Structure 1
Amino acid sequence: MDYKSAIRQINKGQFQPVYVCYGSESFLIQELVEKLTDKLVEPEHRAFAVNKYDLTETPVETIIEEAETLPFMVPRKIIVASRALFFTGAKESGKIEHKLDRLTEYMKSPADFSIIIFTVDADKLDERKKIVKSLKDADALVPCTMLSADELTHWVGHEAEKADFSFAPGVADQLILYTGTSLQTLVKEIEKCALFAGKGGTLTMADLEQLVTRSIEQNIFQLIEHIVQVQLEQAFTMLAELLRRKEEPIKIIMLIARQFRIMFQVKDLTQQGYSQQQIASQISVHPYAVKIAAGQANRFELNKLAHILRQLADLDFQMKSGKIDKVLGLEMFLLKLAS
């Protein structure tokens, strides 16, 4: 089942005896664990009812024994077993041997007073393995993958609603652009925004500018956006700010080149008929970054983007070989790009 279906079932009070949560969004995995815990265990009972194990140190048969043992002083218990790498194709470096047949047998008649949650820090499981097939048939697999661009914007808005404030139009997207796509980081920034806006308040773009500290990567996004929109004054102001913060010009060029490379790949794959989600998977970036790059790439022909990448490679060589002043080279590049 997908993540949303799992959450809907939990909210309705419907629970699977075993969950295998995997994927790149560790925040979603943790959120599912917390949702199950909140639904099944009273806060004062958690010391007795929630048991955590690391499967690089504990064999899976210990997890099954724990699941089959009656809970102490509580009606139900949750067993969280992390780093379950035996569900993937990765080679395990630990000395623990896992008897997966015990898990297969347990799945045939699971205890009704226990819920096991396996967590796996991997994008994919090895579906050739018998145990993975068995768990898939039991609808126990819950992929916690990157949200699409639209889902991410909706998620940010929903988190704001939970915190009892709202974003003015366009501010949620700007927050993502400034902060990046890490859900953990976004949650912290949304908490900061909630405190600033107050209960029932609305956070404006001006408020956001005061609150959020942008990383150099996010500043490069914004710098290129200014260039694309032919906003030279804002572009050079941002460049001056980056240099004032002692950012190395060669690093700035490297990040600009990275963004133009993404723009080139996105435009090329879009012309071949790929969707934004497919492109994100193909070039290993977040779907939101694909959405931003697609918008920026619309201002350029594919051969122009290729030409810009060649210019950046040449500028990088000139800077590193001392043939041009680094700051002057950056400024000249931005002027050429805007023209």
Structure 2
Amino acid sequence: MDIKAATKAIKHGDVSPVYLLYGLEKYQIKEFTTLLVDELIQKEDRDFALVNYDLSESSIQDVIEEAETLPFMVPRKLIFVRDASVFTAGKEGGKIEHRIEALLEYLKNPAEYSILIFLVHHEKLDERKKVVKALNSAGIVLSFSPLGGHELIGWIERESKQRGCILATGAADILIRNAGAQLQNLSAELDKLCLYVGAGGTIDSNTVEQLVSRSTEQNVFALVENMANLRLEEALSIYYELLKQREEPIKIAALITRQFRIILQVKELMGQSYSQAQIASQLGLHPYAVKIAGEQARKYKPDVLKSILSRLTDLDYQMKTGRIDKVLGLELFLLRLAV
């Protein structure tokens, strides 16, 4: 079952006794848990019906004991279990001893008045573990991965519509490039933009540029993109703005190096027929970052990228040893890159 189907089922009253929510997209996980609370628990019952556990502080036996205990003054309860590393690869940290057998036994006959929700902020589960297999059979396991390019644009458009405003063509792309691809940040920026244009208003690219400031990382991202497209004036403008913000040239150079290294890695993996999702997983990057890096990679040959990285390494050495003025050195690098 996917997230959409699980959401629809909950709204129709078809609720599983156990949920396992995992992935790196914490904002979507939070949205899903909010849906569970809103749909299943009345506001006046929430003091007694919502229970929280952290497996770094409590054992799985305590959680099962809670699930098997009749709720007090409410028809049912939701039990949220965080730091559920018992479902992931590697050894469980901490001093708490978890007897997984207790959970396995519970899954055979879960209490009808309790709903267990395990929250795992990891990219993957350990599918080899018996408890993961058992939960796949007895409950619902949902993956919350970062949204890819088209999915992310679609999410932004839906969110803006829910807030009563409209996104002009290209505005969503500018918003991502300025604010990044994390849903929590994008949601906050959409709140601000929709408040600015008002109900029924249109958010265009200029509005986004005016109201959504870029982080240092996003500025460097834009700088590299301008260099890839031979827009030297725009790239230098971003560089000078970063200097006005008192950003250290060595840090800027390090971020530029990181971006060119990503471009080279993406280019090499694309050459091996890796998909965007596979590249994102392999490099530990957001799918949208891979999409943009892939577009930039098409504008460079591998040898050129390796040469740029070599020059950046040399520049880093010269700046750190005082052989060249840091501000001038990076400026000269950008000027030569455009030749």
Same fold (TM over 0.5): yes
Q: Distance in 1 between matches of 2:64 and 2:107?
A: 10
Q: Please list the CA deviations of residues 200-219 of structure 1 after superposition, one character each: whole Å capped at 9, or x if unmatched.
A: 11111111112112101100
Aligned residue for 2:29?
A: 29
| Equivalent residues, number | 339
Aligned residue for 1:61?
A: 61
Which runs of 5 or more residues in structure 2 are unaligned? none
Aligned residue for 2:39?
A: 39
Q: Distance in 2 between matches of 1:273 and 1:88?
A: 29
Aligned residue for 2:240?
A: 240
Aligned residue for 1:84?
A: 84
Supply the AA of the counterpart residue of 2:281: S
Which runs of 5 or more residues in structure 1 are unaligned? none
Are 1:203 and 2:206 counterparts?
Answer: no
- Deviation, 1:147, is 1.6
Select between 214-223 and 64-73 the one with higher mean Cα deviation.
64-73
Supply the AA of the counterpart residue of 2:231: Q
- Deviation, 1:139, is 4.6
SS across alignment from 1:213:
coil
Q: Distance in 2 between matches of 1:156 and 1:43?
A: 29
Are 1:12 and 2:9 counterparts?
Answer: no
- Deviation, 1:90, is 3.2
Q: Distance in 2 between matches of 1:250 and 1:320?
A: 8
Aligned partners of 2:17 and 2:139 also within 8 Å:
no
Supply the AA of the counterpart residue of 2:219: N
SS across alignment from 2:5:
helix
Q: Distance in 1 between matches of 2:266 and 2:106?
A: 46
Aligned residue for 1:230?
A: 230
Aligned residue for 2:217?
A: 217
Q: Distance in 2 between matches of 1:165 and 1:102?
A: 50
SS across alignment from 2:199:
coil
- Deviation, 1:110, is 1.5
Select between 273-282 and 83-92 the one with higher mean Cα deviation.
83-92
Q: Distance in 1 between matches of 2:171 and 2:99?
A: 51
Q: Distance in 2 between matches of 1:76 and 1:162?
A: 31
Q: Distance in 2 between matches of 1:243 and 1:38?
A: 47
Q: Distance in 2 between matches of 1:238 and 1:122?
A: 35
Q: Distance in 1 between matches of 2:38 and 2:209?
A: 36
Aligned residue for 2:294?
A: 294
- Deviation, 1:34, is 0.7
- Deviation, 1:7, is 2.2
Q: Please list the CA deviations of residues 184-234 of structure 1 after superposition, one character each: whole Å capped at 9, or x if unmatched.
A: 111111111121121111111111112112101100111122222222222
Aligned residue for 1:314?
A: 314
Task: Give percent identity, aligned residues only.
Answer: 51
Q: Please list the CA deviations of residues 281-306 of structure 1 after superposition, one character each: whole Å capped at 9, or x if unmatched.
A: 11111110011111112211121111
Are 1:135 and 2:135 counterparts?
Answer: yes
Aligned partners of 2:108 and 2:138 also within 8 Å:
no
